[in-house]
């Protein structure tokens, strides 16, 4: 039958493609169908993230995030080198701009040592100036193994390799999965059958899991991140990647500078509640998504815990001057003319009913189906390692 495959992968983002690739490598004779509801690969989180190859320095030692990120980074760089995916291991600094941040910086440094991050070192103002002449700080951690990559191109190359191994494997674009059914899935283009199905549905992961009768104690809540880009007048002020010391009471890394593979430099993202799961503008709105998110007790508990930072983030989302002020903490001579509004992304974050974020990757099995329920940053960096874990579960 033309709609029957050995494996179905729901979602054409980087985790879905990496899973299909690792499965195909292990089982060259088996055929795979990747079902993607959009007209292109990497249309959501994969194509809207910051393009960073993360080192693994931030994550709790022994967590899936730490293990998958470090192993995934090494696999990703080797794959990119072998198959010509645009990337650059340019390094980054985590910059403390005042002495109050030094204990937190030290904590991150010690965590990096525990996680075995290669060649990290603490540097002072003179060394900071050599790496980033326009950045001002009292101390920084230099992280040479951090890099940048084109994740959408990575998806295309992964698909190319899958097709080279087995020409019967395919990607089906414009194919929206409506629900899991016995022995496969129902889509808006009919049903597809397979022995096993892996759901890598990102922003829609909890909805498909519930349709598969999986009992969940969490829900996906979307957080939009807005970016600015350095204009021609500002581009020379950033050479690599510059990150702030993250606020330990806020579950996001803070606005940072990222030099992209095309030479442009992005600044951001902030992190604000999104009224639409796949809404990429400040005014995007979906009644269904808003009712679901605001009807969940965990959302309000998160808001009450972080209302002050959340309010600051929202003000900054609508004020170029406030966004600039956050960036000037690291590069004081940045001007309003140096930054121009750019794109936005939405991060799928699993949230518990008590308002705590699901901090680690979360993958669950339901019969012959596997659901990737929480895969926020650094999932893109970790994709090949996460794929190994999924293939292991499939076996």
What's the pLDDT score for residue 392? 97
Which are the contacts of 7, defined by CB distance < 8 A and separation ≥ 6?
A: 20, 23, 30, 31, 32, 33, 194, 195, 196, 197, 198, 394
Do the Cβ atoms of 289 and 222 come closer than 8 Å? yes
347 pLDDT more than 60:
yes
- Report pLDDT digits (tens) over 254-313: 899 999 999 999 999 988 999 999 999 989 999 999 999 999 999 999 999 888 888 888
Q: Hey, where are the domains in the chain?
A: 4-49+151-217+359-394, 221-231+256-352
What's the pLDDT score for residue 183? 95
- Report pLDDT digits (tens) over 50-103: 999 999 999 999 999 999 999 999 999 999 999 999 999 999 999 999 999 999
251 pLDDT more than 80:
no
Tally of CB atoms within 10 A around 189? 14
Tokens found for residue 355 = 């308002």
- Report pLDDT digits (tens) over 355-389: 999 989 999 999 999 999 999 999 999 999 999 99
What is the CATH number assigned to the segment(s) 4-49+151-217+359-394?
3.50.50.60
The bridge status of strand 190-199 relative to strand 32-35 is unpaired
C-alpha span between 29 and 13 (Å, rounded) = 23
Residue 187's nearest CA partner among 366, 13, 10, 40 is 10
Q: What's this model's pTM, rounded to 2 decimal places? A: 0.96
C-alpha span between 194 and 184 (Å, rounded) = 5
Residue 220's nearest CA partner among 309, 289, 305, 318 is 289
Q: Dihedral (C-alpha) 219, 23, 43, 56: value to the nearest 10 degrees?
A: 70
What's the pLDDT score for residue 1? 57
- Report pLDDT digits (tens) over 204-214: 999 999 999 99
């Amino acid at each position: 039958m033309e709609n029957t495959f050995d494996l179905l992968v729901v979602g054409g983002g980087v985790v879905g493609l990496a899973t299909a690739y690792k499965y195909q490598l292990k089982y060259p004779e088996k055929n795979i169908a990747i079902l993607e509801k959009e007209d292109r690969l990497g249309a959501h989180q994969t194509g809207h993230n910051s393009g960073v190859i993360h080192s693994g320095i931030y994550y709790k030692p022994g967590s899936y995030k730490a293990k998958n990120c470090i192993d995934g980074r090494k696999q990703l760089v080797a794959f990119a080198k072998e198959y010509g995916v645009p990337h650059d291991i340019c390094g980054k600094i985590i910059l403390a701009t005042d002495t109050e941040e030094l204990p937190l910086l030290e904590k991150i440094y010690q965590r990096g040592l525990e996680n075995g991050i290669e060649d990290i070192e603490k540097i002072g103002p003179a060394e900071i100036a050599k790496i980033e002449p326009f950045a001002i700080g009292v101390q920084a951690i230099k992280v040479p193994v951090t890099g940048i990559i084109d994740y959408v191109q990575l998806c295309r190359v992964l698909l190319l390799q899958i097709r080279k191994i087995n020409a019967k494997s395919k990607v089906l674009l414009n194919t929206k999965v409506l629900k899991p059914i016995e022995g496969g899935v129902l889509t808006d283009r009919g049903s597809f059958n397979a022995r096993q199905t892996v759901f890598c549905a990102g922003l829609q992961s909890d909805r498909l899991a519930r349709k598969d009768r999986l009992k969940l104690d969490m829900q996906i809540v979307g957080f939009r991140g807005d970016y600015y880009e350095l204009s021609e007048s500002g581009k020379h002020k950033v050479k690599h990647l510059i990150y702030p010391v993250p606020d330990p009471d806020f579950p996001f890394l803070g606005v940072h500078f990222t030099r992209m593979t095309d030479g442009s430099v992005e600044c951001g993202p902030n992190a604000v509640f999104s009224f639409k799961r796949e809404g990429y503008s400040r005014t995007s709105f979906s009644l269904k998504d808003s009712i679901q998110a605001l009807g969940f007790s965990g959302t309000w508990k998160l808001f009450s815990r972080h209302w002050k930072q959340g309010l600051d983030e929202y003000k900054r989302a609508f004020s170029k001057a406030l966004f600039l002020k956050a960036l000037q903490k690291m590069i004081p001579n940045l001007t309003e003319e140096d930054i121009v509004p750019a794109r936005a992304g939405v991060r799928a974050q699993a949230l518990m009913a008590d308002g705590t974020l699901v901090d680690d990757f979360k993958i669950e099995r339901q019969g012959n189906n596997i659901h990737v329920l929480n895969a926020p940053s650094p999932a893109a960096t970790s994709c090949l390692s996460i794929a190994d874990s999924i293939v292991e579960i499939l076996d």
